[in-house]
A and B are shown apart, each in its own frame.
Chain A
Amino acid sequence: MIKANAKSNKADKRSGRVLTPERLFLKDLAQPEKATYRTVNLLGILIAVGIVLQAFGLAFVFSDLVLNAVADLQMLVLAGVGFLLRISAQYFRDVLSASASRNIRFSLRQKALSHLADLGPKRHQIEEDAALSTRVYEQIDALDDFFTRYKPQAFLVAVIPCVILASVVWVSWIAFGIFMLTAPLVILFMILVGHKAAQANRKQFKVLSLLSNQFSDLNQGLAELNRLGQTTTARNRLSDSAERYQKTTMGVLRLAFLSTGTLELFASVSIAMVALYLGLGLLEQLPWSVGSSPVTLSEAFFLLLLAPEFYLPLRQLGSDYHAKQKAEAASTDLIDLFNVKADSHTAAFHKPESSLSEEANGNDQIMYPTFESDALIVMRHMGWEQAGRQRLAPFTGSIHEGERVWLKGESGIGKSSLMTILLGFEQQYEGSLKVAGGELTATNLSQWRNRLAWIPQKPEWVQGTIRQNLELGIGRCTEAALREALIQAKCWDFVLTLKYGLDSTITEAGTGLSGGQMQRLSIARALLTQADIWLLDEPCSGLDEDTAEHVLNTIDDVSHGKTMLIISHDTHPVFWADTFWTLTKEGVHAKAQIKRSYV
């Protein structure tokens, strides 16, 4: 794979036409809009025909005007039709390709959103939510120019010169010859424009993102710089690096532009030379054929009008090149995003094999906790491997109804992964997981999830009032129910002291509520859901000892009779749990907890 990549990179340099993963991704995206793009391409052909008709009509009108001071109505109409055909085709082409791009982008976005939702907690393997939102919105929109401009243009580049050549051959062999001679130049153009423009774009892209990154970084830390009295230094830093980069980039850009510029000059001059040649030819002054004219005036005009059009699509493609660049950069990030899921499928593929081997030699090593096959949650040789990395070593254990289990283990041993599986966000686990008597599958998943309450390390909050957050996902609650839950979770007192009580807002920038208070609110929320199975993932980390103890006590008070799995470090011991599990690489060590009373 890597070898193939290196190879394709090499080939890429030569031909510029090998499919990198990014190109493949973009190609696949365009697939559903194939029909639209076919129409767009057809319209491109119409544009080419329009160009030729317009040039043909105008050429005859002009030569008639000049030579005979008359105009042929038919030719005028032909030129007019050509012009209108061209602009109408252009209009429809614009509209169609823009709508194709919209369809592609917005359906991709839906796909990305539901993909992220499916990933659940695993989405953070890719990035933080803020960065993910940038991918889902900005990066996907960065594909726009590629689908509206670059893709149709890439077709036009091939079509227009061909149509022009094909039409010229009927009018003048010499004209055909001139264009044929410049055709290799066109290909040379393609390659050089592609490379140089790509180079310039890449450089510019890199510099701009570097500068923008620095600006954003220093701005994030402006408060700290302010405290340290370093704002002026930082300002100078910003200013200096911007200036320095401006200088070096301009050096590179100047060269890059120069190379495309030289080629454009070549094109311009060759058009001018065509004009000059035609002029001299008409005057019968050509050194090699003095006294005879190789072309008629109308032919000359035809050629003159078509010559710029012959090169125009290429120049356009060159300037649209950054659209491609941008799209490919964005694709890299988007491919990453979709890859996270693909990995777990690979794991699923290996599933039978690894669970078999586990069956074969795992039995002696695993220490079973009390194992009842009729318990509420039964895990048998359950493990999770993702992309070759073991996230959770296979283990066996069971939790019966009403049992409260304290789970601990080294960091990275897979405690959170176990939660992910129990929450139903990872179904490619090895072994078996039976809940309420049945294997956890897509069919009983929502039923299972309905019984769950989930309290993570950082409680999940949406922007809105405390009330909205408590009712999140449950729907309207009565005032009495809210009050009851808040009193049980010991939130009632501090909520009362808030100026707007339950209608105080929880915002991104903070609430003025402490970590312990926030955690209590999430206990209240769990109570409101009437869920009978509670999953808690380090609910007390980040709280100081006293607060943690109080929060744990509250959890104890409210969770009698509930089935519970609580992850907590030694620093915050859960003395009241019925069972105490230690998760290790070998499996789970379980022991019944000797309940200590606490006062």
Chain B
Amino acid sequence: MPKRKSNVLTFKSLLFQNPFGLIVAASIGAIASLAAVALLGISGWFLSAAGLAAVVGTALTFDFLTPGALVRLMAILRTAGRYGEQVFSHDHLLGLLRTLRLWVWDQRQSLPFIDLNKQTKGDLLQRLIGDLDQIIKWPLAVAMPWLYAFLGCIALATLSAFIVPSLWPWVLLYSALQLVFLPWLAHRLCSVAVFKMQALSTHRRARFMSVFGALITLTIRGNWAGYASKLKTLDLRQKALQAYIQKTSSITKYLSQCTTFALMAVTLIQVLAYKNDVLILDEGVQATWLVALLLAMLAVNELLQPLSNAFIAQGQSKVGLRRLNQIALHDHGERATVCKLGETIRFDNLIGRYQQGACQSDLKGVSAEIELTQSLRIVGKSGAGKSTLLAALAGDLPFSGSLFIDDNEVSITSNQNWYKQVAYLPQNPIIFQQSLSSNLRLGAPNATDQELIEVLNILGLGEWLESLPNGLDTLLGNQGRDVSGGQARRIALGRALLRKSGLMLLDEPFDGLDSTSIQRVCEAIENNKYRPDFLIYVSHINSPLDRNAMSLPVE
């Protein structure tokens, strides 16, 4: 059971995320909905009364101004209300999206690297983003339509109590059917299907990725067709589910309309008596008001329509919430322990490991000691665990063995205090869809443009920079300028250099660099400007750095 309840998302918490915005949107929507019912009702009454007055001869004394004004007022309220609801609910939607995204961010940001990596690499992240889009629709697609329908039913009950008192149990029954029974029925019939559909689409996507990942092998072996047909089977199951859900929704809608039809029929049966081949209106009932009531029923019927689809959104949001809550943090009381770089770093029998996946029992632990201003080059065959070792030292991966700073054992994994002192160039560097300068400044928020240009020059990106029309402000990534793998590495390396941290960890820093750039980078690292206190690196390319570096073989 979660300790911190506030961390778990529920439908209730969705409603209370931004209560003011929702209340404004809902009340405006409610006014618009009621005005729509009233508009039809009042117009009906007004016409009937006017017609009656003309026949009876009281036309001259008939007060047509008040109902006329009311009709206009309702028309204006309905339209203005709709407009207001649109504006406020969109505002609320955007606000909710923001809150939920920040919620996801907060849950994820304190996760240890290894879990984070798992989430990012699989399609969990994609799914989370999709789920968020699904969930924010809940207040608009489920909660508010139900509220309007509820208010419409109340209005109907009140009206009928005045006009045809004997009708109220029927209206009550009608409301119960429309507001509770039909939604319940649809939900019961379909909640499993909606859940299956969601699960199936995740499954289908994974299957697609997996099968298409081996497309050529499967094709040349001549059994692509078999695998493709499995993909097709999944798709057909999805189609059948969609058909089932859609049919349920249409039938619910049909039943809801039939219920309205029945209510109107019951109303007429209540007030009409069959005498001498004619249907005669009961004495106690005012025909003008009866017309208003019947028209109001038609208007409420319109209000009820969105409910027949609401169960789909309800089911989808439910699945989405459940999945989101899987990443809700339960205990997050751990404080980062203090660890400050000192004179030496020593590690004993260190093996970095990914918690899951194939275990590498054949790897031997690595031991070394490095003193202030020294550097260490990790060498070994690929697969020997060089990158894993570096990632463990960076605090990303858990490890077995121990790490000492000045003979004090410290715990560095996912430790914020450790991160602060480390500049790490990982195996797969990340470039954000931000400007070139923002990407670099992630390493040093206060760096001047001049410093950024200097680093880019060192990395041999000077010419490239000059070719960019927007210079440092050039937007990188999908939305902007695509950078090649080599450029991405160098920008990330620049980011690491700019950090000017005590400990620098570089995983293949020279990949994709020409020899002049390698020279310059090494100079920069060895000169005072970007010189770290401790340097540990992995590189299959020999460089001037090696002259002053101890070699640490990893097997």
Contacts and interface: CB of A to CB of B under 8 A. Distances in A.
Interface of A: 58, 62-63, 65-67, 69-73, 76, 80, 83-84, 87-88, 90-91, 94-95, 98-99, 102, 106, 109-110, 113-114, 116-117, 120-121, 123, 129-130, 132-133, 136-137, 204, 208, 211-231, 233-235, 238-239, 242-243, 245-246, 249-250, 253-254, 257-258, 260-261, 264-265, 267-269, 271-273, 275-276, 278-280, 282-285, 293, 297, 300-301, 304, 308, 423-425, 446, 449-450, 452-454, 456, 460-464, 472-474, 494, 497-500, 504, 507-517, 525, 529, 543-547
Contacts of A132: 212
Nearest to B278: A70
B75 A529 contact: no
Given A211-B97, A304-B47, A460-B214, A544 B381 contact: yes
B338 to A, nearest CB: 16
Secondary structure class of chain B's binding surface, majority of residues? helix
Contacts of A72: 279
Given A65-B287, A136-B208, A462-B211, A547 B381 contact: yes
Given A71-B279, A258-B83, A509-B121, A220 B218 contact: no
Contacts of A510: 121, 354, 357
B232 interface: yes
A211 B381 CA distance: 43
B74 A272 contact: yes
Contacts of A301: 44, 47
B396 interface: yes
Given A87-B254, A98-B246, A516-B383, A473 B43 contact: no
A500 B361 CA distance: 12
A176 to B, nearest CB: 19
A512 B354 contact: yes
Contact of B125 (A62, A137, A219): A219
Nearest to B83: A261
B135 interface: no
- The 8 A-B pairs at the shortest CB distance, nearest first, are namely A514-B383, A473-B221, A297-B51, A261-B83, A242-B98, A272-B75, A512-B358, A268-B75
Contacts of B445: 230, 233
Given A222-B116, A460-B213, A472-B214, A250 B208 contact: no
Interface magnitude class on chain B: 35 or more
Nearest to A518: B383
B551 to A, nearest CB: 15
Nearest to B417: A229
B82 to A, nearest CB: 7
A465 B8 CA distance: 36
Contact of B133 (A212, A224, A253): A212
Given A228-B443, A272-B39, A460-B215, A257 B87 contact: yes
Contacts of A102: 239, 242-243, 246
Interface string B58-70: 0100101001100
Nearest to B422: A227
Given A226-B113, A227-B424, A221 B220 contact: no
Interface stretch (B101-109, B150-158, B367-375, B464-472): B101-109
A70 B280 contact: yes
B166 interface: no
Given A246-B95, A497-B361, 11 more contacts: A91-B253, A120-B219, A227-B422, A227-B424, A242-B98, A245-B94, A253-B87, A257-B83, A272-B43, A497-B360, A512-B358
Nearest to B218: A473
A223 B117 contact: yes
B24 interface: no
A226 B95 contact: no
A242 B101 contact: yes
7 contacts: A113-B228, A229-B420, A253-B87, A261-B82, A282-B47, A508-B209, A514-B383
A308 B97 CA distance: 35
Interface in B206-250: 206, 208-224, 228, 231-232, 235-236, 239, 242-243, 246-247, 250
A99 to B, nearest CB: 7
Nearest to A497: B362
B253 to A, nearest CB: 7
Contacts of B1: none
A228 B423 CA distance: 8
A508 B117 CA distance: 11
A507 B47 CA distance: 72
B77 to A, nearest CB: 9
Interface in B16-43: 39-40, 43
A235 B98 CA distance: 11
Contacts of B98: 238-239, 242-243, 246
Given A62-B44, A283-B53, A304-B43, A239 B362 contact: no
